[in-house]
Structure 1
Amino acid sequence: MNAPNDIAPEIAEVDRIVAQARKAQAAYEATGSQALYDKAALAAGWAIMEPARNQALAELAVETTGLGNVPDKITKNHRKTLGLLRDIAEAKTYGVISDDPETGITEIARAIGVVGAVVPSTNPAATPANNIINALKGGNAIVVAPSPKGVASCEMLLSFIHTEFEKLGLDPNLVQMIPAPGSKAKTQRLMETSDRVICTGSQNNVHRAQSCGTPAVAVAAGNVIVIVDETADLSAAAAKITASKCFDNATSCSSENAVVVVNAVYDDFVAAMAAEGGALVPASDAAGIIARLWPDGHLNRSAIAQDADKMLDALGMADKAPDGTKFLAVETDGIGPDHPLSGEKLSRVLALYRASDYAGAKALAARVLAHQGAGHSVGIHTSDDARAIELGRELPTCRVIVNQAHTFATGGSFTNGMPFSLSMGCGSWGGNSIDTNLHWRHFVQTTKIVREIAPREPALEDVFGAYWREAGQ
């Protein structure tokens, strides 16, 4: 290892920030209480939810990243934070959190220390806020590493948080960020020197987080595919898919990227979708969309996460799509690396597949997930709940969203039981250590006090009796 005076200035800067965080966290924990942790989390929540600040953050995010739209970012900042604060309100994260006389075990919540959070440009305020609130609730300090385009939003968010902290006498070094200019070297150093890494964003960042040597919680890519079967309420399905697909201009990893419709209702669904603003692009014209959406093998920045009019113009559809078009549904049957429509598109473009029946739709969804998005989530619009259970048993996915607008449902909703989050674990299918939505429990560890109890050793007959009677000894 290099001697301290051999460390590059940008690395030394990260070390200084982490050292400040470590000192602040030690004092925060030493004087900690559930009331203090709750108050700090609420301070960070109000910093982003206060209407004028929320508006400023949303406007700055769109201005500096060029992604999404202001009204939807305001909604996202508000609802995601409100839902998270609801979720954690009664959570015990300080002191004794369980005491079981039967097992003799007392469990004490402990802070992790300094959390290093790598966050994306798609949600440059909401995702950092979510991580910050969870970290403070658990008694931790946190250092955020924003993407280059997310630096300005992160700076503004932290200034708002520090203003709230000043009212409460909290140390601003509990919440810090890696300042501009960002670099892979700085982010790498943060990941190596923090006590836990939380990583949401590019799969390159996720790979580096999971191989940095620090315990990491990271998430995989989304590529949501939704089935519409012959029992679905087609009008409701079309309305929900449209609202979800268009929200924040499809920046969410939970935005529908493909819909597979069974043949019996295909034409009726296309009509219902058209009534909601989904314009059909027939398979014969798909090549033109592909050429413009991936002009050099990479997604066209003039089309991704843009309002409908800009997206249509970038894809050469401004004079072809009907008035009121909100998104494009491009007919295709291809899946895999040579068929880019089958992957994540980060735009108001949806791949539309036709299946002969439900079994065919399920098989097609499995092929799409095998190509991209395994572990994240699938959706189904159906009146047959058994089919949702079947998808959960057979497909490589951690979530099956039933009859809901996918973007609003996957990361927590006031009308379902999922924890509010902007980071969805994808299990072993996605190469992740978690299969749940990232939530407060990932920011806390526990110490167990273990006492002796009366023996609980079973007889061999109690354990093997039924097996012996069936298979013999």
Structure 2
Amino acid sequence: MNIIDNDLLSIQEARILVENAREAQKMLAAFPQKKLDEIVERMAEEIYKHIRELAVMSSDETDYGNWQDKLVKNQFVCEQLINRLRGMTCVGIISEDVQNKTMDIGVPIGVITALCPATSPVSTTIYKALIAIKSGNAIIFSPHPRARHTIGKALDIMIRAAEGYGLPEGALSYLHIVTHAGTVELMNHDATSLIMNTGVPSMLKATNQTGKPVIYGGNGNGPAFIERSADLKQAVRDIIASKTFDNGVVSAAEHSVVVDRCIGAEVKQIFKDHGTYFMSEEESEKLGAFFFHSDGSTNGEMVGKSAPQLAKRAGFHVPDHVVLLISEQKYVSENNPYSKEKLCPVLAYYIEDDWMNACEKCIELLISERNGHTLVIHSKDEEVIRQFALKKPVARVLVNTPATFGSMGATTNLFPAMTLGSGSTGVGITTDNVSPMNLIYIRKVGYGVRRTEDITNGGLHERVQTTDGSTQSTNYKLEDIEMLKRILKNAIETL
């Protein structure tokens, strides 16, 4: 009887991929930015031909969300991201200060291991491949098991296009035999320089144990505060559009709404007028029992389902036109499923007396899952907006925009990204919308502009130009400097 050990096969494949990537990256690191840009453009051009097919395929394979919205995400990375990458210099001389005689040199970080979520498998894969090659790095993907066929097909298309245009073989690759052991081997290999984990919390412990730099796009659980001065109808429309997009699978989407009490009744009615169903306490309990398994992990069968589907699974009925379910809550607690990230069109709903109490409620919600991802405030009061921006333990604050689209840079001028750093509480090395600039290190160059003796003779020196065009050094003693300061101070006071 033949026994196939997939763990051993996956580990062996991982070692081969990393070693090939290391050799490929040595060649890639010598490519000028112009050549890297040509490869990236070719990759985007070719994958764009397949984005509809891949959207349908990913929705069918994962059973998350809907293909129409996945197509929008795929278009976003092939169009808006590419537009932002054009003209960006990541390697070689990236800045030069002629006056101060300094330069910054961008240097690729090396070999990257990438983990992608099943919720946005195609768009995240395209995005990571493009920014890695743009910045001269080799990248190896460990496809999410629930989306491995779709991710594999997307990568095959980009690999053929890139290698046909000069990308070294092995610089862009992926595990075909996907196991936990193989992924751990990828991350721990000596040649791996950086790990990008987007939306795979089950691998976070193994990721952190590698001792390598980690970029982590983690749990969202972001609240949205509707303050009394906001355009209420627009705020509600933004929240609904964001939370129902792809049936709520985007981690950065709103997960709770906090409302000023004086506008609470009006906001609730606007939500109802736009296809939202406020659940009874009994219905909330029934639905809440399905979100998580007994060990606290997310129930994948609730992810990316429509509001009527969710209600049916929980044993109650809502009309077919309902797009969003809301549970009215008072408290945030570890045992309350509505205090956590919900990757489906469901929101918790809190009423607070004023913006200061709302501020505290938002902080409670942000720290409940400790990743400090994204916060939205809908308000016209700039002082309230500033206070929220200054005081929240969060990676990004969005103002008067839908969280899903604002966070990824679609409706804001943030960098177009499918990995949103959530390092504000120590998880990962950055809170940025991750760009190619997060995948390089900066080599500093400084020319000498002062002589050694100018700083070692025990005094302060100034180079002065004489009438014949030559320069000489003037030595000022410290006591002379102090005396000059006193004279100037007295003169200013006299004036």
Partner residue, 1:439: 435
TM-score normalised to the size of structure 2?
0.86
Partner residue, 2:379: 382
Specify whether residues 203 and 92 from structure 1 end up closer, same or farther in structure 2 by C-alpha distance, changes over 3 A only. Answer: same
AA at the equivalent of 2:258 = V
Cα deviation 1:37-69 (Å, max 9, x = unaligned): 00111222223322xx11111111111111111
Partner residue, 2:473: none
State the shift of 1:198 in Å: 1.4
Select 1:426's aligned residue among 422, 437, 462. 422
AA at the equivalent of 2:244 = C
* Structure-2 separation of matches of 1:276 and 1:373: 32
* Structure-1 separation of matches of 2:427 and 2:110: 25
Partner residue, 1:208: 206
Q: For 2:302, what is the secondary structure of its paired residue?
A: coil
Specify whether residues 295 and 26 from structure 1 end up closer, same or farther in structure 2 by C-alpha distance, changes over 3 A only. Answer: closer
Select 2:444's aligned residue among 433, 448, 466. 448
State the shift of 1:123 in Å: 1.2
- The 8 Å contact of residues 165 and 172 in structure 1, kept in 2 or not, is answered as no
Cα deviation 1:157-214 (Å, max 9, x = unaligned): 112113323542434422100113x222211111122122111123342332233133
Partner residue, 1:3: none
Which structure has the greater CA radius of gyration? 2
State the shift of 1:325 in Å: 0.2
* Structure-2 separation of matches of 1:377 and 1:187: 28
Specify whether residues 373 and 379 from structure 1 end up closer, same or farther in structure 2 by C-alpha distance, changes over 3 A only. Answer: farther
AA at the equivalent of 1:84 = L
Aligned length: 452
* Structure-1 separation of matches of 2:226 and 2:41: 40
Partner residue, 1:26: 26
* Structure-2 separation of matches of 1:249 and 1:366: 26
Specify whether residues 430 and 221 from structure 1 end up closer, same or farther in structure 2 by C-alpha distance, changes over 3 A only. Answer: farther
Partner residue, 2:243: 245
Q: For 2:287, what is the secondary structure of its paired residue?
A: helix
- The 8 Å contact of residues 77 and 126 in structure 2, kept in 1 or not, is answered as no
Q: For 1:218, what is the secondary structure of its paired residue?
A: strand
Question: Structure 1 stretch 270-279 or stretch 41-50: which is displaced more?
Answer: 41-50
Q: For 2:331, what is the secondary structure of its paired residue?
A: coil
- The 8 Å contact of residues 378 and 401 in structure 1, kept in 2 or not, is answered as yes
Specify whether residues 282 and 198 from structure 1 end up closer, same or farther in structure 2 by C-alpha distance, changes over 3 A only. Answer: same
1:256 aligns with 2:232: no
Q: For 2:71, what is the secondary structure of its paired residue?
A: helix
* Structure-2 separation of matches of 1:387 and 1:94: 41
* Structure-2 separation of matches of 1:156 and 1:111: 26
Question: Structure 1 stretch 383-392 or stretch 372-381: which is displaced more?
Answer: 372-381
Aligned counterparts, 1:18-417, within 5 A: 18-30=18-30, 32-50=31-49, 53-165=50-162, 167-180=164-177, 182-193=178-189, 194-283=192-281, 285-294=283-292, 296=294, 298-317=297-316, 319=317, 321-413=318-410, 415-417=411-413
- The 8 Å contact of residues 224 and 373 in structure 1, kept in 2 or not, is answered as no
- The 8 Å contact of residues 102 and 445 in structure 2, kept in 1 or not, is answered as yes
Partner residue, 1:13: 13
- The 8 Å contact of residues 209 and 218 in structure 1, kept in 2 or not, is answered as no
Specify whether residues 232 and 141 from structure 1 end up closer, same or farther in structure 2 by C-alpha distance, changes over 3 A only. Answer: same
* Structure-1 separation of matches of 2:207 and 2:78: 25
* Structure-1 separation of matches of 2:369 and 2:160: 42
- The 8 Å contact of residues 369 and 396 in structure 1, kept in 2 or not, is answered as yes
Q: For 2:347, what is the secondary structure of its paired residue?
A: strand
Specify whether residues 99 and 175 from structure 1 end up closer, same or farther in structure 2 by C-alpha distance, changes over 3 A only. Answer: same
Q: For 1:24, what is the secondary structure of its paired residue?
A: helix
Q: For 2:140, what is the secondary structure of its paired residue?
A: strand
Specify whether residues 295 and 432 from structure 1 end up closer, same or farther in structure 2 by C-alpha distance, changes over 3 A only. Answer: closer
* Structure-2 separation of matches of 1:396 and 1:178: 36
What's the RMSD between the two structures over aligned residues?
A: 2.4
Cα deviation 1:246-298 (Å, max 9, x = unaligned): 00111111111100111111111111111211111134542222224447565
Q: How much identity, in percent, do the aligned residues show?
A: 25
Question: Structure 1 stretch 361-370 or stretch 170-179: which is displaced more?
Answer: 170-179
TM-score normalised to the size of structure 1?
0.89
AA at the equivalent of 1:13 = E
**Unaligned runs of at least 5 residues, structure 2:** 1-6, 461-477, 490-495
Specify whether residues 122 and 11 from structure 1 end up closer, same or farther in structure 2 by C-alpha distance, changes over 3 A only. Answer: same
AA at the equivalent of 1:406 = A
**Unaligned runs of at least 5 residues, structure 1:** 1-6
